[in-house]
Amino acid sequence: MADLRVLRIPHSTNVERIALAAAHKGLTVEWIDVDPDDRRAVRDVSGQDLVPVLLLDDGEALADSPRILEWIEERWPTPSLWPADPGDASLADVFCHRFNEVWKGPPNRIAAVLGPVGFDTDRLTDRQRRAVEEDAARMRTWLDRFEERLGEHEHLCGDAFGICDVTAYPFLRYGLRPPAADDVDPDGFHRVLHEHGRFDAASHPRLTAWVDRVAARPQA
């Protein structure tokens, strides 16, 4: 039997976090594929619609990727995803919280505005267009902050691969390369990540090298 049993839908950035973390710890995962248009299986076990959902041995389930990652770390602490120094570990928590609660806001809002008009910007109102531009500017500013951070260390939490990389990579990687033909999500979220979070080796050399470093890592 696999170490973890996880419900997923295709192309999920938050599911990819679990795949990276599990492989880092050498854990096996039984992936249970769910129809994105029929969330009953997810709702029945977890009381909500979003994936990933981790199935626990006692029949309970755990939703929300940050909570699942913490659960995995508690159960299999070695090799750790958090820095050994308690202060650095707290900073890693702050980074992840901010990534989830602040960084994700602009691309989610842009996708919510552009998705319904089929990415046809001519169909946006002036107010919507301004809102998209402001959020796109926020995304570009964050890219510069990541670039600066990676000037000091090989990974976002420090020199070792860890929870900050697991949290951010599945989203930031689309800035370097567009979704592959078999990786296109129906909501257009990946397209937003690519078009508005775009960077390359000339504009962000360290971020580019970091994406390539994490891309080379195994995923469960």
Where along the sequence are the contacts to ligand GSH (CB under 6 A)?
9, 12-14, 49-52, 64-66
What is the identity of the amino acid at 129? Answer: R
Can you tell me whether residue 6 is helix, strand or coil?
Answer: strand
User: How near is the Cβ of 87 to ligand GSH at its closest, in Å?
Assistant: 25
Taking the least distance from each CB to ligand GSH, the nearer of 49 and 85 is 49
Nearest to ligand GSH of 4, 51 (CB atom): 51
Under 8 Å between Cβ of 169 and 211: yes
Nearer to ligand GSH, 10 or 205 (CB): 10
106: left (phi over 0), alpha (psi -120 to 50) or beta: alpha
According to the 3-state scheme, what is the secondary structure of 59-97? CCEEECHHHHHHHHHHHCCCCCCCCCCHHHHHHHHHHHH
CB of 71 to ligand GSH, least distance (A): 12
**52 vs 162 by CB, closer to ligand GSH:** 52
CB of 182 to ligand GSH, least distance (A): 16
What are the structure tokens assigned to 89, written together?
């570990």
Our CB check for ligand GSH shows the closer of 150 and 192 to be 192
CA angle, 30 then 35 then 37, to 5°: 150
CB of 115 to ligand GSH, least distance (A): 11
> Which residue, 42 or 207, has its beta carbon nearer to ligand GSH?
42
CB of 9 to ligand GSH, least distance (A): 6
Which ranges of 125-188 would DSSP assign to H, the alpha helix?
126-152, 163-176
Q: How far is the CB of 85 from ligand GSH (least distance, A)?
A: 26
User: Is the dihedral angle over the CA atoms 211, 151, 199, 99 positive or is it negative?
Assistant: positive
